[in-house]
Structure 1
Amino acid sequence: MRGFVAAALTLVLATPAVAQDKPGYELVWADEFDKDGAPDPAHWVFDTHANKTGWYNKELQYYSADRAENARIEGGRLIIEARKEMLSDRADHGGQRYSSARLISKGKAEWTYGLFEVRARLPCGKGSWPAIWMLGATAGWPDGGEIDIMEHVGKTPGDVFGTIHNRSTAGTFGKGGQIRVPDACEAFHDYQMLWTPDAISFAVDGKPYHRYVNEKSGAAQWPFDKPQYLLLNLAIGGAMGGDVDDAIFPIRFEIEHVRVYQLKR
């Protein structure tokens, strides 16, 4: 059965990124980043809520809002840029020496199940920590669950991680897998996640590399039957990012599209 699921996932994820070529799925939401300027407020909001107190994994960045230096659409791409600078004139500044941005779809778009695809080129350099991920919209962490579609840290360039966090994994590094993408910092790749009632599967460019199964043991292990929202961010340092090389800045996390497909009804 697992081999069949993997083969089906490969078929769905490996086809070109248009709805009619993904068997059984239709495009329900997308941002193609085709209009220069600020990120579309109909799709995204800036998340700045922990700037003053500090972010949760000992990260070192200040997340700005509505600031083109940190988040803008340019040439058909969303650019999230981290810079070495102190924005100490801002009321919510927490002493951070770096600026960046964190965009979320909370309150704009949330989903239960689907095929998620983000085409991106990642930054490298020690201390960089870009992520494409999802959080539960109806409960806090970890009870609402977390799906890390893509994480990458510059200290191990080319190692891409997909991870699940929930109440049953709290206190651990989560349940996940990794795949080598040697040119992740030079080329664009499709970072993908297929979420069904039975499992969550991760892939890059249609190649599956990790699958988390619903064991039907309860909400602690599977809170993934409720809506989640998307997050795109570029963190600096912290528990996963590690030591920071200041010579890398500024660095860019570039995203060509975000697409969400769901089963046709």
Structure 2
Amino acid sequence: MKTLLCFLICLSTSTIQAFGISPYAPDFSKPKPLAGMKLVFNEEFNKNGKPDSCIWSYENGFKRNQELQWYQSDNAYCRNGCLIIEGRKESRPNPIYKEGSSDWRTSRKEIQYTSASIQTAGKKSWLFGRFEIRARIDTATGSWPAIWTLGSGREWPSCGEIDLMEFYRPQGIPTILANVAWGTDVRYKAKWNSVRKAIAPFITKDKNWPCKFHVWRMDWTKEYIKLYIDDILLNTTLLSETINPDGSNPFLQPQYLLLNLALGSNGRDPANSIFPIKYEVDYVRIYQQAQ
């Protein structure tokens, strides 16, 4: 129902589009110049078919957080100026099932949900800059979309993680998260600087908020990481504080980008949600200081 409502609202915005960019539709305009900065990367997804294999690769299978989805490339495609990642309810045998296994990946007899996660690992990475990602998220129960980065060559979390956007339901409350994580002296335990914003106040101000595209932004310098939504500052992390126990700083090293839609786990049980659940990314634009 929500997807249909968003579609009908989008159809009603032709007048808006005549005077500028509709918040309900992809932005086909050229990236705007920023004073003192150079556009070093942009992915507009303005083609139909699969994402560019020179930039993006796929995660496959069950990956993390005991999430419900099986990641596969079939669920990511470009159409009408957007990357679309679809969460689908579908049932088939788990090809890595092992009877008696205690591992959550191999103990499941069946795959009940599928989705996609694409990333630039081994193909594109960046150190510092302004990252702008325009996207529309599905706020259905069970949905867990994300825009995030990771460093290469080190174990998590010492590699560093930046979550420009996560949406899920802590304590059942629909929430936007903006996070930065780095290493501690306990293996696989991160130090987090995390900010959570319930989306209820956004919807109080604008009832159509879930139907609109929003711009998630990161300003990353050698001094700080600042995370925004629609120019509203959510999180500031000082790089003077993001030091791993060995003295290294993961955010003085390049990071690669991931776009994914998880289902279940922190997103809660999607069983009663309407499928497919869609996560739409209009563009990725990255600027760095001009030399």
State the TM-score, normalized to the length of structure 2: 0.76
Which of the residues 168, 174, 192 maps onto 1:174?
Answer: 192
Other-structure match for 2:227:
202
Larger Rg: 2
Q: CA deviation at 1:114?
A: 1.1
Which of the residues 179, 194, 218 maps onto 1:163?
Answer: 179
Q: CA deviation at 1:243?
A: 2.4
State the alpha-carbon separation in 1 of the partners of residues 123 and 189 from structure 2.
Answer: 31
Which of the residues 284, 287, 290 maps onto 1:258?
Answer: 284
Query: Over residues 199-229 of structure 1, what are the superposed CA-to-partner deviations in whole Å (9 max), with x where a residue is unaligned?
Result: 1101011121210112267334832111110
TM-aligned CA distance change 1:61 to 1:111, over 3 Å: same
SS in 2 for 1:161: strand
Query: Over residues 118-151 of structure 1, what are the superposed CA-to-partner deviations in whole Å (9 max), with x where a residue is unaligned?
Result: 1000012111100000011221201101000000
Other-structure match for 2:85:
80
Q: CA deviation at 1:58?
A: 1.3
Q: CA deviation at 1:96?
A: 2.5
Q: CA deviation at 1:165?
A: 1.2
Which of the residues 159, 165, 179 maps onto 1:150?
Answer: 165
Question: Which runs of at least 4 in structure 1 moved beyond 6 Å after TM superposition?
Answer: none
Q: CA deviation at 1:185?
A: 2.3
Deviates more, 1:184-193 or 1:166-175: 166-175
Other-structure match for 2:215:
190
SS in 2 for 1:58: coil
Structure 1: 5+ residue stretches without partners: 1-15
Q: CA deviation at 1:241?
A: 1.3
SS in 1 for 2:273: helix
State the alpha-carbon separation in 1 of the partners of residues 113 and 48 from structure 2.
Answer: 25
SS in 2 for 1:248: coil
State the alpha-carbon separation in 2 of the partners of residues 57 and 255 from structure 1.
Answer: 23
Flag the structure with higher helix content: 2
Aligned residues: percent identity? 35
Letter in 1 for 2:78: I
Which of the residues 120, 125, 129 maps onto 2:140?
Answer: 125
Note the 1:1-265 alignment, pairs <5 A. Answer: 18-20=31-33, 22-48=34-60, 51=61, 54-65=62-73, 67=74, 70-88=75-93, 95-153=110-168, 155-157=172-174, 159-168=175-184, 171=189, 174-179=192-197, 180=199, 181-182=202-203, 183-215=208-240, 218-220=243-245, 222-238=249-265, 240-265=266-291
TM-aligned CA distance change 1:163 to 1:44, over 3 Å: same
State the alpha-carbon separation in 2 of the partners of residues 172 and 217 from structure 1.
Answer: 11
Aligned residues: 240
Structure 2: 5+ residue stretches without partners: 1-28, 98-104
SS in 1 for 2:257: strand
State the TM-score, normalized to the length of structure 1: 0.83
